[in-house]
């Protein structure tokens, strides 16, 4: 039998940090290589969150070969500059500090390559809050959110009923459901409330401060049902 909620998994982009500038400018750089011009960077906001390879195919109808080349072009700029064109979402350090103080174990589960996620978290001095940073591999494997969540669970011997996944896009919610993990969708990132609800989010947080309240509610509910 599980011990109740012990482990909090966080998405990175749009949940812990706002990566808008770095991601959109790096996608624009990649598209320009294919002679595709972008009028406004906001057109590229759908690229924030999902695996890049999938987004180039879905959003710009690239072939598999073109999508692989686009990801390579993207990383040319992103690894040098875009990585740190980023900012921590207001209230996140306080949230992480509070959860850790209250005895929860914190993890990152992101479709971003682990190497980039680790650099970002270290740069913004958030890395020490997390027991494990789980992401995709540079060769494109383990990029689906369900695969990343399952990897974090497996690597840390976490039972699904002892965890909750927090993210801002439908992929986070769908991935959590696929791993039998409860989910919190956040609307301060890049997915609207409707997207998160339709994906099946168990809870919705409109502000960072609401996350701790939801986690407390889950913990109290579990104690009451035992």
In angstroms, the CA 147 to CA 179 distance is: 9
- In degrees and rounded to multiples of 5, residue 81 shows phi and psi of -130, -50
Beta-strand pair 163-167/132-136: unpaired
pLDDT at 112: 95
Give the whole-angstrom CA distance, residue 117 versus residue 201. Answer: 24
The DSSP secondary structure of 52-100, one letter per residue, reads: HHHHHHHHH---HHHHHHHHHHHHHHHTTTGGGS-EEPTTHHHHHHHHH
**Is CATH 3.60.15.10 the right assignment for the domain spanning 7-18+86-224?**
no
The predicted structure's pLDDT at residue 24: 98
Q: Which of 11, 18, 168, 172 is catalytic?
A: 11
Is residue 42 among the annotated active site residues?
A: no
Residue-wise burial string across 36-66, b where 16 or more C-beta atoms lie within 10 A, e elsewhere: eeeeeeeebeebbbbbbbbbbbeebebeeee
Q: How far is CA 217 from the centre of its chain?
A: 23
Task: Give the pair of three-digit tokens for residue 225.
Answer: 């049902």
Name the phi and psi angles at 143, rounded to 5.
Answer: -95, -20
pTM (2 d.p.) = 0.94
Place of tokens 């002892």: 162
Average predicted confidence (pLDDT) for the chain: 95
At CA 113, angle to CA 111 and CA 117, rounded to 5?
A: 90
* Environment class of 156 (CB within 10 Å of its CB; exposed 0-12, middle 13-18, buried 19+): middle
One pLDDT digit (tens) per residue for the chain, 226 residues: 357 899 999 999 999 999 999 999 999 999 999 999 999 999 999 999 889 999 999 999 999 999 999 999 999 999 999 999 999 999 999 999 999 999 999 999 999 999 999 999 999 999 999 999 999 999 989 999 999 999 999 999 999 999 999 999 999 999 999 999 999 999 999 999 999 999 999 999 999 999 999 999 999 876 666 5
Residue 121 falls in which region: left (phi positive, over 0), alpha (psi -120 to 50) or beta: alpha
Q: What is the pLDDT of residue 1?
A: 39
Residue 47 has a pLDDT of 96
Map out the domains of the chain as residue ranges. 7-18+86-224, 20-84
Q: Which CATH code is given to the segment(s) 20-84?
A: 1.10.150.240
How many helices, marked H, and strands, marked E, lie in the chain? Answer: 9, 8
Tokens of 65: 């070969």
Nearest residue to 172 (alpha-carbon basis) of 132, 202, 129: 202
């Amino acid at each position: 039998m599980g011990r109740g909620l012990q482990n909090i998994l966080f998405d990175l982009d749009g949940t812990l940090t706002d990566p808008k500038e770095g991601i959109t400018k790096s996608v624009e750089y990649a598209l320009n290589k294919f002679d595709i011009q972008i009028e406004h960077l906001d057109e590229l906001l759908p690229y924030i969150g999902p695996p890049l390879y999938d987004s180039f195919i879905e959003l710009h109808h690239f072939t598999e070969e073109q999508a692989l080349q686009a990801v390579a072009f993207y990383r040319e700029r992103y690894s040098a500059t875009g990585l740190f064109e980023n900012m921590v979402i207001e209230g996140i350090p306080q949230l992480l500090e509070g959860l850790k103080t209250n005895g929860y174990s914190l993890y990152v589960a992101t479709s971003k390559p682990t190497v980039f996620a680790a650099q970002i978290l270290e740069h913004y001095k958030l890395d020490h809050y997390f027991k494990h940073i789980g992401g995709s591999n540079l060769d494109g494997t383990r990029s689906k959110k369900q695969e990343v969540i399952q990897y974090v669970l497996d690597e840390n011997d976490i039972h699904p009923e002892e965890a909750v996944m927090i993210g801002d896009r439908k992929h986070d919610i769908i991935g959590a459901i696929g791993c039998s993990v409860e989910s919190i969708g956040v609307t301060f990132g890049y997915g609207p409330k409707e997207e998160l609800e339709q994906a099946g989010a168990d809870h919705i947080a409109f502000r960072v401060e609401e996350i701790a309240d939801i986690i407390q509610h889950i913990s109290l509910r579990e104690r009451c049902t035992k």
